[in-house]
């Protein structure tokens, strides 16, 4: 008898809040790349695994990242429009975009596997934002795991991880 796959339930991104950057690196390595044009529209973001906070106990990190999902954090997520996109602020509707990026598919500079690459090297951005490099892969249906790297002169530094989930 052939077993047919049934539709999966939704993945809870909060289950990743206690993870360290190293753990998320391992998870990220196992994730599949996105299909072209898969990200389109407005996505809610959740920040975690912020550089330097790994020294905190897991429960404290979990608490802090949950706080960052409340109104105190002005960053609400990202908007994707074809080959371009921007971060959205204050409102989940995406009416206040800032922090622009171009989108393309390429191999990750970290693990060499295919990713959807977000390059902040865009004229509209402040100079300080331009070395930011985002990488995105699919976590489950409608949920994506992404990381923000910062290109210094010497190396690529992992700043944080975040998830994007479709709010429509």
Partner 1 sequence: MTNKYDVIVIGSGFGGSVSSYHLAKAGAKVLLLERGPWRDTEPVRAMGIKKRSHLPAGSHFYTHILNRFSAPWLPKSGVKVNTHGLFDIHYDRDMSVVCSSGVGGGSHVYSAMNIRPAVDAYWDNHVDGVSTDMMEPHYQWMIDKMGARPPALDDNIPNFTGKRYEDSPHFVADESVQQPAMSMDMSSNPENFSNNSFFGCVGWSKATLDKILLSPAINAGLEVKALQECLGIYRIDGPSATSYRLEVMDHQTKRHTYYQADRIILAAGTLNTQRLLFRSRDNGGLSGMPSLGCNFGGNGDFPAYWGVNEKGADFSIGTPSHGRFELRDYPSCPNFTEYGMSGIDDVPLVGNAVRNRLKRDLVLVGMGADRANGAFTWKNGRLRTRYIQHNNPIIGAIAKAFEEISRRSGKKVWFTNKRLLTVHPLGGARLASNQNDGVVNEQGEVYGNPGLFIADASALPAAPGSPPSMTIAAWACHVSQTLSNKI
Interacting residues with partner 1 (CB under 8 A) = 1-12, 15, 19-20, 22-23, 26-27, 29-32, 113, 140-141
The rounded distance, in Å, linking the Cα atoms of 134 and 117 is 6
Which residues lie below 8 Å from residue 117, measured CB to CB, with a gap of 6+?
103, 104, 105, 106, 108, 133, 134, 135, 136
Q: Which is nearer to partner 1, 49 or 132 (CB)?
A: 49
Q: Which is nearer to partner 1, 9 or 82 (CB)?
A: 9
Strands 97-107 and 156-166 come out as unpaired
Q: Which is nearer to partner 1, 31 or 68 (CB)?
A: 31
CB of 109 to partner 1, least distance (A): 17
CB of 110 to partner 1, least distance (A): 13
Phi, psi dihedral angles at 136 (to 5 degrees): -130, 135
Handedness of CA 119, 34, 96, 47 (dihedral sign): negative
Q: Which is nearer to partner 1, 79 or 147 (CB)?
A: 147
CB of 44 to partner 1, least distance (A): 16
């Amino acid at each position: 008898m052939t077993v047919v796959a049934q539709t999966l339930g939704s993945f809870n991104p909060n289950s990743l809040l206690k993870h360290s950057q190293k753990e998320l690196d391992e998870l990220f390595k196992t994730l599949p790349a996105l299909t072209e044009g898969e990200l389109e529209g407005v996505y809610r973001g959740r920040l975690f695994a912020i550089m330097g906070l790994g020294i905190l106990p897991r429960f404290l990190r979990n608490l802090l990242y949950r706080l960052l999902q409340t109104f105190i954090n002005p960053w609400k997520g990202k908007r994707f429009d074809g080959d371009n996109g921007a971060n959205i602020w204050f409102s989940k509707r995406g009416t206040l975009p800032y922090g622009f990026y171009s989108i393309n598919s390429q191999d990750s500079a970290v693990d060499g596997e295919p990713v959807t690459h977000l390059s902040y090297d865009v004229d509209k951005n402040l100079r300080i934002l331009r070395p930011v490099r985002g990488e995105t892969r699919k976590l489950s249906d409608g949920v994506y795991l992404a990381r923000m790297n910062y290109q210094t002169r010497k190396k690529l530094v992992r700043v944080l991880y975040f998830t994007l989930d479709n709010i429509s």
